[in-house]
Structures are given as C-alpha cells and as structure tokens.
Amino acid sequence: MNAGSWSELNPVSPKTVKRLVLYDTTLRDGAQTRGLKFSLEDKLAISRRLSDFGFHYIEAGWPSSNPVDRRYFEEVRDLGLKAKTVAFGMTSRRPEKDSRIDDLVRTQADIITIFGKTWDMHVKDVLHVSLDENLHMISGTIDYLKSQGLRVFFDAEHFFDGYKANPDYALAVLEAAKGAETLVLCDTNGGTMPWEVDSITKNVVSKFRNNIGVHAHNDTGMAVMSTLSAMKNGVAHIQGTVNGLGERCGNLDWCEFLPVAGIKLGLQPGVEMKGLVKLSRYIVRMTGFSLAKNKPFVGTNAFSHKGGVHIDAMLKNTRAYEHMNPDDVGNSRLFNLSEQAGRAGVLDAARRHGYRLGKEQPAVREIMEEMNRGRVTTDAELFLLLSEKIDGKKGLFDLVSYETVVSSGGDAKTEVKVRINDETFHEIAEGVGPVHSLDVALRKALSKKFNTEKLQLTNYRVRILNQEKATAAIVEVFIEFKAGGSTWSTSGASDDIIKASKDALIKGYNYYLLKNYG
C-alpha cells in the first residue's frame, strides 16, 4: 500500500482533528484490572501526576460503589489540579430519589459521567427494563443532574455492538442523551473492527452536534486503530488509561496512542510527551503491574539493538533502524552485547566507558572471543573485561573462600574471607537462603573499606540452560543492581546455583567499586 492510498484510508490530520481532548480513566476503568486495588493515597498521588502530564479530565472513581472514591472527591479539591475531575455513575429510574445519584451530586466534581445501555440485548437481558424505559432513564438522569448545576458527559455503553444489532435504537439512545455535553461511543467488548468504527462514527457525527468521543477496549489489539478510525471523522474526545490498564485486555493505552497521534500524525495532544516513559514507569511502580520490555515507545527494548549489522548501521545513522528519536518520549537507545554484536558494538560500548579502541587491537579480538563463548553478556561485564585487558585491574577485592550451611527450615549462614589490597576480612552472616546470606556476608566485609549503603539488588533471575539434565542442569543467574541513578546487571553460570550466584555478585560489586573507587 503506498502512502497516498493510506492517506485516503485514514486521513487523520490537524485538519480533521484540531484539538484533542484527553480523558483519562486509569483510576476508574483502569482500576477494574484484575488484581489491582488503589488506596486513597494512591489515587491522590496519581491524580497529581496525570494532571501535571497534561490530561484534561481525570475520571477518578464511582462514589456510590465504595468509600475510598467518596473520600477521594472530598480531598482532591485541596490539590489544585489543572485537570478537571470526573465522577462516574449509572442511569436511574428516579434520580431525584436515588442515593447513588446523591453521591454523585455531593462529590462537587467538575464533570459527572453517566453511562447507559445502548445495546437492546443488554437493556432486555441485563437491565431488565423495556427499551422505552431505558431511554427515559437516560434522559431523566441527565436532566436531573443538569438541574443541579452539573456538567454531564454520557458514555454510551456497548454502542458499537448495539448499533450493529439495532442501529435505530442505538441512535435513539444518543438522542435521549443529547442533553449531555459529550456523547462517548464505547466499544465496551473491544471486538469492533476499525473499519466498522469508521463507518458508524461517520454516521453518528453527521446526525449529532454534540461533542462526540470514543472509548475503545483492546480485546482484539486494535484499540489504537479503532480510535484513529473514529478520529478520521472528527472525533476529538479520547478516553484511555496509562499502560492500557482495564477490564480483560485493557483500554486504549496512552503510551501507544499519544506518540502515534502527536509524533506520527502531527497532532497537538498538549501533554509532556518527553515525560511519557516516566509516567508509564510511575504507574508500574504504583500498581505492581510490569510492562513488556518490547512494548512500543516506552518498553526498555523499544529502541534496543543487538545484531552487529544493525549496530554498525546505527552508529553511522540512527535512522537506519529506528522510526523516531527515543528522546521524544523520554526513552533511551540501547546497544546490546551478544555474540551478534560485532566489533562496532564492542567499540561503541568501550567508548561509553571511556576507552578509545581501534578495530584491530588485540583487546577487541579477545573481548569478542569471550562474547562468542557466552562469557560476556552484559554491559557491566564488558567494562570489567576492559578494565582487566586495558588497565590490568581485575577488581578491587577477591573472595578468598566461602562456606554456607543451610538449615532444614531454609535459613542459611555463610562465612566468607575477603581480601582487599593486603588485608583479609572474615565475616559471618545469616540470611533467608544461601544466596541471601552470601550477599549479606559479602556486604559486611566490603563495608570495612567501602561505602556500600547506596548499593541495592533490584532483581534476581535464574534460567536453566540444559533442562534435560534435570537437577544437574547448568543454571544462569542474572542479578540487577542499582546505586543512585545507575543500574547494571551481571551474570554467572554453573551447575551449582550458589556458585553461579556468587560469580554474579562478585562481578556486580566489582563493577560498582571500580566505577566509584577504581
């Protein structure tokens, strides 16, 4: 498909969408992610970050469903957010006598979003009311809230499925809700194809003067494409969540949509785009839900390069294997060391550590041989090898000996002898298992000469290399470290998991010491 035909298929541009309206629902729809629960403090802290990032609306909760959301709206007023807060609720037969509607009114939120049934199947089989009664509930609830001086948005739940099943009734729902400022078309099941979204939204936009919005779920992996298909017809009110949190497969992910809209299509989302990676990782910390390393734009591998041909080309022109500058979303370019990296990768990594090498230097050939044998797998290990080959430094300490005893309950005690220069230090430490006790004992010994307080172990992973050997298999241990703003990782391999862990620990500590004391 050439560029011209693609433009005709989906001509989303500043001409069709002049100003995006970004409505975040991380704290409401995102909170429906299985296994996720926000505390009041979480919600308030996340609200500050979302507002500072540039979202226009923050849908923070459903006050009639739990006390945390009720308290949130009491306390959020004191934060002075730039974003407008939104309380969420559903339609009612008698809104003037419904305590759930009273809860919405009492929030004093900037906006009330009401959702109502659009799919006739849901009206009859889930809500158990007549089609006409559902329409009266929608219009009556919106009118009542407006009579209380409130601004109201309407979420047309299951709109696209409802339209496909009974287009006349789906449009009648929007007609009943036209007292709301914005009518949001929801692909609640996430199964509508982008071309269907295009066709249906085109018809809706032609019939209603209200602001039209779109709320896409990602059950077919097409939430971004479906949202763009709606935008093709002038839809500018977009709803989504950070990292795509939400029911089942989640909602439209801001971390995928915003770079596409802002960088690829040239729209003006009005957000701090260079802070996107920081926002994504902040939500990871606040939720405990990890991010795929190969996630577009914000994943740690999104701009990483491993193959030697790729790295060589990237060093000559970064456009060779990247579709955009990672700085634009706050990400970083990474060159990965491996048997595929080639000399260009080794030379670039050496440069980052302050070594200027030529392609034909013996050290380069020796390092590549070590890499081909799988003995150098991380950037920190390359630095240690450079330090040894170029500077003659193998490290600032040696582990002379160690002995670990494990109790029947799993607790362990490790005794180490560590040599630093001409002094030998003897330490004993207990821990939860042999690796932990070894780590604690090593730290105690190193602290006699070095400040290791800032040094943290942030991850420990084990990989079996030859499963057919069962319990006699060789294991590879990866340990990730952090100190201040620096992170690094090291590895060790052995048929003894304690020895593999010991090797990775020693390399990790020696990297830190050489960088700071070498």
Assess whether pLDDT exceeds 60 at residue 5: no
User: What is the mean pLDDT of the segment spanning 297-322?
Assistant: 81
pLDDT digits (tens, 9 = 90+) for 398-409: 999 999 999 888
Residues 6+ apart with CB under 8 A from 422: none
Residues 6+ apart with CB under 8 A from 109: 60, 73, 85, 86, 87
Q: 478 with 459: CB under 8 angstroms? A: yes
CATH number 3.20.20.70 given to 3-271:
yes
Q: pLDDT band for 374, please (50, 70, 90 cuts).
A: low
Assess whether pLDDT exceeds 80 at residue 77: yes
Choice among 2-16, 159-173, 236-250, 404-418 with the minimum mean pLDDT: 2-16
Rounded distance, CA 300 to CA 297, Å? 9
Question: Residue 324 gets which letter from DSSP?
Answer: S
What's the distance, Cα to Cα, between the start and end of the chain in Å? 57
Q: pLDDT band for 304, please (50, 70, 90 cuts).
A: confident
pLDDT digits (tens, 9 = 90+) for 447-490: 999 998 888 888 888 888 777 777 778 888 999 999 988 889 89
DSSP characters for 256-298?
HHHHIIIIIS-----S-GGGHHHHHHHHHHHH-----TT-TTT
User: What is the mean pLDDT of the segment spanning 413-418?
Assistant: 95
Rounded (10°) angle between helices 308-316 and 342-352: 60
Note the pLDDT of residue 464: 84
For residue 229, how many C-alpha atoms fall within 13 Å in the half-sphere facing its CB? Answer: 21
Mean pLDDT of the chain: 90
Rounded distance, CA 235 to CA 230, Å? 6
Q: 190 with 150: CB under 8 angstroms? A: no
- Supply φ then ψ for residue 97, to 5 degrees: -120, 15
Assess whether pLDDT exceeds 80 at residue 157: yes
**Amino acid letter, 243:** N
Question: For the sheet containing 475-483, what is the strand order?
Answer: 456-464, 475-483, 486-494
Note the pLDDT of residue 394: 86
How buried is residue 78: exposed, middle or buried, by Cβ count under 10 Å (0-12/13-18/19+)?
Answer: exposed
Q: In the block, which residue shows the tokens 């020693």?
A: 506
Q: pLDDT band for 249, please (50, 70, 90 cuts).
A: very high
Assess whether pLDDT exceeds 60 at residue 102: yes
Residue ranges of the chain assigned to CATH 3.20.20.70? 3-271
Note the pLDDT of residue 342: 62
Residue with the bigger pLDDT between 346 and 225: it is: 225
Note the pLDDT of residue 360: 77
User: What is the domain class of 398-517 according to CATH?
Assistant: alpha beta
Question: Token pair of 42, please?
Answer: 């979480």
Give the percent of the chain with pLDDT over 90. 69
User: What is the mean pLDDT of the segment spanning 151-166?
Assistant: 98
DSSP characters for 405-427?
EE-TTS-EEEEEEEEETTEEEEE
Note the pLDDT of residue 214: 98
Assess whether pLDDT exceeds 50 at residue 2: no
Q: What is the largest CA-CA distance in the chain?
A: 90
Note the pLDDT of residue 370: 74
- Supply φ then ψ for residue 169, to 5 degrees: -70, -40
User: What is the mean pLDDT of the segment spanning 256-271?
Assistant: 94
- CA dist 264 to 304, 325, 369, 474, Å? 20, 12, 42, 46
User: What is the mean pLDDT of the segment spanning 405-422?
Assistant: 91
pLDDT digits (tens, 9 = 90+) for 325-364: 999 999 988 766 654 556 777 777 778 888 887 777 887 7
Rounded (10°) angle between helices 194-207 and 167-176: 50
Residue ranges of the chain assigned to CATH 3.30.160.270? 398-517
How buried is residue 80: exposed, middle or buried, by Cβ count under 10 Å (0-12/13-18/19+)?
Answer: exposed
Note the pLDDT of residue 213: 98
